[in-house]
């Protein structure tokens, strides 16, 4: 497309093309080998033998006017996993660089992840091909811009946004953020003031597009009227379908792209979690009632459904779960995160899984028939979602 380079920073002749072509050609073999050899490969179980298609993402999608790979990558847990362990940093860099080789051009992070550390890891990883990829980051928490100390609460005051973005740019080793989100709505700052601060950053060339996360519907409409919104990032998966009611229809009406975070249901849809799983102290899933032992026993019916479809499609449960999201709308781009190379390869292959209209109708019907029990987040986190900003006086 004529405006491809202008809109996404991705040209038609990406660096390291020869290496990528080799990876595409050997993708199925590499993915199968990696996943079969891994005793912890998500969703498979000891007797499973995944049958994967291509492991590279060739499809491109649009979030508004921004072009990205059909499957992106979330960079959240590369400084601290859900299990509270710290991953090996050089391997995280290897995974991010390999993701680019597998066709991923959309990387999502935030100043709050670490705080700061995941932006640093991403910035170091993509420095050599920064102009070939799209970086998304976020502001909105009350974080000391100098020390990274989480001071509690939210802060979207215009002067704080400016300082937060300056810090993100340094850590990401770049001169602009392609997609800047407000991480959560600040109930004390009119969204029009937030849009004005982002517009100033756009005028300075430091931000190219903007979006909102987990906002109230009224705030989305006001934000879009003040400064056109490129994308909304909300939790969305078979395990949490809340956005289908109002948010996704609003995005379709307004021409806004949608980016599902936690597209694999915090690992649940991969089959990695079963009735016997116990969560480490500090693992947020231990505070989500949908993961309580009683609710989990009920909710595992959804995992069995996904596993059955994985067999039908000769794919893995993770790939089916991601492909289901992409099949809902052509402007939905999931951003699965991982700290394991084999899972990155697996996730990248999801773009090759497709459903016929009849298959999609059948799968959608089966998903709707399973009512997930329990809340998706702890109460104190859930209270920050669906919030509307105060009116502009």
3-class secondary structure per residue, 130-173: HHHCEEEEEECEEECCCCCCEEEEECCCHHHHHHHHHHHHHHHC
Once rounded to an integer, what is the mean pLDDT over residues 351-378? 97
Tell me how far apart the alpha carbons of residues 137 and 117 are, in angstroms, rounded to a whole number.
Answer: 12
Asked whether residue 109 is assigned to any structural domain, the reply reads yes
Asked whether residue 392 is assigned to any structural domain, the reply reads no
Asked whether residue 271 is assigned to any structural domain, the reply reads yes
Asked whether residue 14 is assigned to any structural domain, the reply reads no
User: The domain that contains 199 carries what CATH number?
Assistant: 3.20.20.100
Asked whether residue 25 is assigned to any structural domain, the reply reads no
Query: What pLDDT score does 53 carry?
Result: 53
User: pTM for the whole thing?
Assistant: 0.87
**Which residues, listed in sequence order, are joined to residue 62 by a DSSP beta bridge?**
67
Once rounded to an integer, what is the mean pLDDT over residues 32-47? 32
pLDDT class of 233 with cuts at 50, 70, 90: very high
Asked whether residue 67 is assigned to any structural domain, the reply reads yes
Query: What pLDDT score does 32 carry?
Result: 32
User: Where do runs of H (alpha helix) occur along the chain?
Assistant: 4-8, 17-25, 27-37, 89-101, 117-126, 158-172, 191-203, 217-226, 247-254, 293-313, 317-328, 341-348, 357-369, 379-382
181 an active-site residue?
Answer: no
Domain that holds residue 77: 59-382
Asked whether residue 210 is assigned to any structural domain, the reply reads yes
Dihedral (Cα; 113, 119, 125, 126), 10-degree rounding: 130
Query: Which residue of the set 82, 100, 113, 181 is catalytic?
Result: 113
Q: Are 174 and 132 in contact (CB under 8 A)?
A: no
Tell me how far apart the alpha carbons of residues 216 and 268 are, in angstroms, rounded to a whole number.
Answer: 26
Asked whether residue 1 is assigned to any structural domain, the reply reads no
pLDDT class of 56 with cuts at 50, 70, 90: confident
Number of domains in the chain: 1
pLDDT class of 6 with cuts at 50, 70, 90: very low
For the ranges 18-27, 76-85, 210-219, the lowest mean pLDDT is seen at 18-27
């Amino acid at each position: 497309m004529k405006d491809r380079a202008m809109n996404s920073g991705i040209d038609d002749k990406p660096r390291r093309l020869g290496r990528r072509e080799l990876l595409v050609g050997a993708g199925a073999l590499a993915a199968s080998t990696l996943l079969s050899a891994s005793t912890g490969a998500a969703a498979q179980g000891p007797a499973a033998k995944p049958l994967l298609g291509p492991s590279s993402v060739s499809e491109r999608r649009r979030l508004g006017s921004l072009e990205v790979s059909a499957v992106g990558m979330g960079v959240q847990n590369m400084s601290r996993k859900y299990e509270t362990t710290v991953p090996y940093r050089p391997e995280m860099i290897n995974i991010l660089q390999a993701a680019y080789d597998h066709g991923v051009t959309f990387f999502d992070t935030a100043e709050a992840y670490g705080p700061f550390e995941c932006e640093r890891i991403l910035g170091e990883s993509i420095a050599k091909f920064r102009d070939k990829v799209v970086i998304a980051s976020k502001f909105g928490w009350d974080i000391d811009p100098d020390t990274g100390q989480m001071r509690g609460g939210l802060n979207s005051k215009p002067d704080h946004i400016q300082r937060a973005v300056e810090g993100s740019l340094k850590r990401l080793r770049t001169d602009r953020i392609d997609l800047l989100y407000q991480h959560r709505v600040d109930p004390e700052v009119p969204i029009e003031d937030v849009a004005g601060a982002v517009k100033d950053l756009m005028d300075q060339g430091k931000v190219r597009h903007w979006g909102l996360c987990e906002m109230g519907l009224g705030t989305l409409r006001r934000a879009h009227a003040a400064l056109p919104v490129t994308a909304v990032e909300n939790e969305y998966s078979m395990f949490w379908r809340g956005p289908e009611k109002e948010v996704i229809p609003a995005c379709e009406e307004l021409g806004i792209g949608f980016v599902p975070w936690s597209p694999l249901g915090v690992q649940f849809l991969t089959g990695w979690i079963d009735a016997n799983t116990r969560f480490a102290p500090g693992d947020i899933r231990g505070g989500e009632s949908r993961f309580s032992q009683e609710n989990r026993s009920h909710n595992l019916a959804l995992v069995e459904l996904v596993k059955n479809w994985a067999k039908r499609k000769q794919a893995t449960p993770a790939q089916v779960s991601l492909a289901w999201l992409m099949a809902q709308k052509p402007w939905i781009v999931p951003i699965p995160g991982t700290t394991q190379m084999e899972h990155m390869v697996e996730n990248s292959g999801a773009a090759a899984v497709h459903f016929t209209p009849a298959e999609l109708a059948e799968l959608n019907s089966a998903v709707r028939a399973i009512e997930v029990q329990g809340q998706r987040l702890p109460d104190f986190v859930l209270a920050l979602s669906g919030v509307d900003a105060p009116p502009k006086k």
